[in-house]
Amino acid sequence: MSRPYQVGITGSIGSGKSLVCKIFKTLGIPVYDADSHAKELMTTDGILMSGIKKEFGDLAYHGDGSLNRNYLAEHVFHDEEKLQRLNRLVHPRVAADYRHWADRHQQFPYVVKEAALLFESGSYKGLDRIVVVHTPVEVRIQRVLKRDPHRTVEQIRAIVEKQMPDDEKLKRADDIVVNDESVLLIPQVLKLHNELIGRKK
């Protein structure tokens, strides 16, 4: 079974990659949000759930099967080594779920996979084209503070530090969408969409 042409979209926290993906959705292009699917799979995928329980104990889940986010936040998210162990369980299951999803969307000229850790997880390797949404770090921090008032500047900087630097992402990008309010966003996405629609099969 042949899959559609696959476009990956990534960007650091606050870059606006979700906004870019909303524009693609408005243009009728299916978008797979890897981060939200990962959260869903952690409570619906039996293989993943048993792996998490084996690795981090039954307390990782509540009695009703929902994820014990407080437990994981306390014992996993602030421990780099444990976080990597969790990612090693989650990423392959998300990759498998994405492949099934892509197979169901062959009728489209292309599909989009949105993922914050596209490079870090290695999932970029299976895609045909990579788009990086670029925004200067200070602009990103201000955006996240507005969006998530419960976060502090220090917390946001800690997240930024854990993600691949933008310079490195930009080197690996096939296309760059600038979202710093100095250039209009929609015309950039439309140009890219028209290129993708018009590309030779």
pTM for the whole structure: 0.90
Is the same domain home to 132 and 198? yes
Q: Tell me the three-class secondary structure of 31-74, residue by residue.
A: EEEHHHHHHHHHHHCHHHHHHHHHHHCHHHECCCCCECHHHHHH
| Residue percentage of the chain with pLDDT more than 90 | 73
The pLDDT tens digits for 3-48 are 799 999 999 999 999 999 999 999 999 999 999 999 999 999 999 9
pLDDT, position 161: 83
Is the same domain home to 59 and 96? yes
Is the same domain home to 123 and 53? no
In terms of C-beta density within 10 A (0-12 exposed, 13-18 middle, 19 or more buried), how is residue 121 classed? buried
Q: Which of 104, 121, 148 is the last residue of a domain?
A: 104
Counted domains in the chain: 2
Is the same domain home to 100 and 123? no
Is the same domain home to 166 and 197? yes
Is the same domain home to 114 and 198? yes
The pLDDT tens digits for 88-131 are 999 999 999 999 999 999 999 999 999 998 998 888 999 999 99
Is the same domain home to 13 and 84? no
Mean pLDDT across the chain, nearest whole number?
Answer: 92
Rounded to an integer, what distance in angstroms lies between the CA atom of residue 31 and that of residue 27? Answer: 11
Is the same domain home to 133 and 191? yes
Q: Which of 77, 104, 131 is the last residue of a domain?
A: 104
| pLDDT greater at residue 78 or residue 13 | 13
- Sign, CA dihedral 93-16-131-21, equals positive
For the cut 90, the answer to whether the pLDDT of residue 79 exceeds it is no
For residue 39, give every residue at least 6 positions away whose Cβ sits within 8 Å of its Cβ, in sequence order, or none. Answer: 67
* Token pair for 200: 């030779």
CATH number at residue 133: 3.40.50.300
Is the same domain home to 134 and 195? yes
116: nearest Cα among 10, 2, 23: 10
What is the domain extent for residue 182? 1-30+110-201
At 181, the pLDDT band (50, 70, 90 cuts) reads confident
- Count of other CB atoms within 10 angstroms of residue 184: 11
Is the same domain home to 49 and 65? yes
Is the same domain home to 146 and 115? yes
Is the same domain home to 134 and 62? no
Q: Which of 104, 123, 152 is the last residue of a domain?
A: 104
Find out whether 22 and 142 touch, Cβ atoms under 8 Å: no
